[in-house]
Structure 1
Amino acid sequence: MITLCMDTSHKHLTLALIQDDQLIKKSMTECFKQQSETIFPELVKLCEEAKIKPDDIQEVVVTTGPGSYTGVRIAMTIAKVLCATKNIPCYALNTLQLYSGNHAKCCVLLDARSKRAYFAKYNHGEVVQEPGVFTIDEIQNFIKPDEEILGDGSLLGKEDNYVDLAESFLSLKPYWEKVENIHCLVPEYLKSSEEYLVK
């Protein structure tokens, strides 16, 4: 079984190929607002390096957000077209969960602009605090001293801390949610589309 994993919801373009529960090829590139131009060349390169053809892909995993209004849609659109035309399964994974990297007692925050961030808590992939969008001040009050901060830590005056997202796809396999109707797969934005236009 060959699985293609894709995430374009934040500043990274992440692609991974998994074969029989083994990560065989991966690509994680920071290319914020350039994912649409980059994803197809990277995908072709990844398949060539793995010595597989696109037709060999038997299932797809894609992040559903939250994240960039346009970014979330890039990987999701490719997943929907690929799964619908090839009639193969699609699985969904929350972006914040992917960024948790299956770490213990971690907080994940990603920039939502306007002094706000997407935020959630996880413990080895299990949701401790449901994803939401909060002000930076609110988030500072949520975090406990023994919790690791992952993602855009610079929003809190700390270092950014990103896990290996390709590896994270594999380690979080128990949390992949099967999409029963590919045509009904929609992004999880957590805020209205108008708010995405605020710089």
Structure 2
Amino acid sequence: MKFITFDSSTKALSVALAEGEQPTDFTIKASTTTLGKRQHGQTLAPAVENILKQVDWKMSDIDAIIVGNGPGSYTGLRIGVTFAKVWANATKLPLYSVSSLALMAGSASKQTDFVLPIMDARRQTAYTALYQYDNQAVLQAVEPDQHIKFEEFLAKIKKHINPNCELTLIGTDIDEFVEMASRQLPTTKLTVIDDWNAYPHTVNAFGKVPWTQIEEPTLLAPNYAHATLAEQEWAEKSDSDTLNPDELIDFK
């Protein structure tokens, strides 16, 4: 089977192609993660077309779609999820969602005890979760994706963390959160990933991250974890979920 996965939950846009039959046994055919000045609404469709050309695939060759479902950028998530919903609905392809935080966590070493991805949500709050690799080296959530004051989250995860274990913090511009973790978990070995690998790279969807199959694609909603009142009002007025497939991309 031929899979495409994309994530637009942050300022990075990531797209990957893979081929295989088992969730833990895939061959990566192509992958790209880019940062640009243009919004994902302008770049997602061209990025999909370009990566397909790299491996000489057509839209019609794709057998299933996997989309990063957040949490993250409110507008970015709506763009990616809407694109996936329209594509899956137009072509009747299977649709799966993955956690954008889990895609970040997938860049951590499989030897680390726990992985804590962090997206700064301002005012010392974060979109975050706590993950651990299982015996098959697939990430599983110990604490689910959420929006929370980071100090509160650190207090919550102490029940899981052995004082002598290794905890990998992963995210961009997270110095403030690393300092908080250092204070609250003084005996825990902290490893920090805050470079290019800290973005949600969709290549990590294959073999490292569990998928959720969406039985009815039109009902898929982004996992915002938290939305401001203004964002909620905007969503109620928005008609972006009813976009015509032809306005996005030629699915042939």
Question: How far apart in 2 are the matches of 1:33 and 1:118?
Answer: 24
For each residue in 1:130-162, what CA deviation from the matched residue of structure 2 results, as whole angstroms up to 9, or x when unmatched?
Answer: 221122433454576621101233342576241
Q: Distance in 2 between matches of 1:39 and 1:70?
A: 13
- Under a length normalisation based on structure 1, what TM-score does the superposition of the two structures give? 0.88
Match of 1:14 in 2: 14
Q: Percent identity?
A: 25
The one-letter code sitting in structure 1 at the alignment partner of 2:166 is D
Q: Distance in 1 between matches of 2:213 and 2:101?
A: 18
With over 3 angstroms needed to count, the CA separation of the structure-2 counterparts of 1:100 and 1:32, relative to structure 1, is farther
For residue 120 of structure 1, report the CA deviation from its aligned partner: 0.5
In the alignment, residue 121 of structure 1 is paired with which amino acid? L
Size of the alignment, in residue pairs? 196
Deviations 1:142-185 (A, max 9, x none): 57662110123334257624167133111235x11110111110
Q: Do the aligned partners of 1:12 and 1:32 also contact (CA within 8 Å) in 2?
A: no
How far apart in 2 are the matches of 1:177 and 1:32? 31
Alignment of 1:119-130 (within 5 A): 119-124=128-133, 125-130=139-144
TM-score by length of structure 2 reads 0.70
Within 1, Cα distance between the matches of 2:148 and 2:38? 23
**1:80 is matched by which residue type in structure 2?**
K
What are the ranges of 5 or more consecutive residues in structure 1 without an aligned counterpart?
none
Check whether the contact 1:10–1:32 (CA below 8 A) recurs between aligned residues. no
Q: Does 1:168 align with 2:182?
A: no
User: How far apart are 1:24 and its partner, in Å?
Assistant: 0.3
- Decide whether aligned partners of structure 1 residues 196 and 113 sit closer, same or farther in structure 2, where only a CA change above 3 A counts: farther
Match of 1:156 among 169, 177, 184: 177
Residues 110 and 164 from structure 1, CA distance in 2 versus in 1: closer, same or farther, beyond 3 angstroms?
closer
Q: Which runs of 4+ in 1 moved over 6 A?
A: none
| Alpha-carbon offset, residue 33 of structure 1 | 6.7
- Provide Cα deviations, 1:61-92, integer angstroms capped at 9, x if missing partner: 00111111111111111111111111010001
Where relative contact order (Cα < 8 A, 6+ residues apart) is larger, the structure is 2
Look at both structures and tell me which one has the larger radius of gyration over its CA atoms.
2
Is residue 41 from structure 1 mapped to residue 46 from structure 2 by the alignment?
yes
Q: Tell me the SS of whatever aligns to 1:133.
A: strand
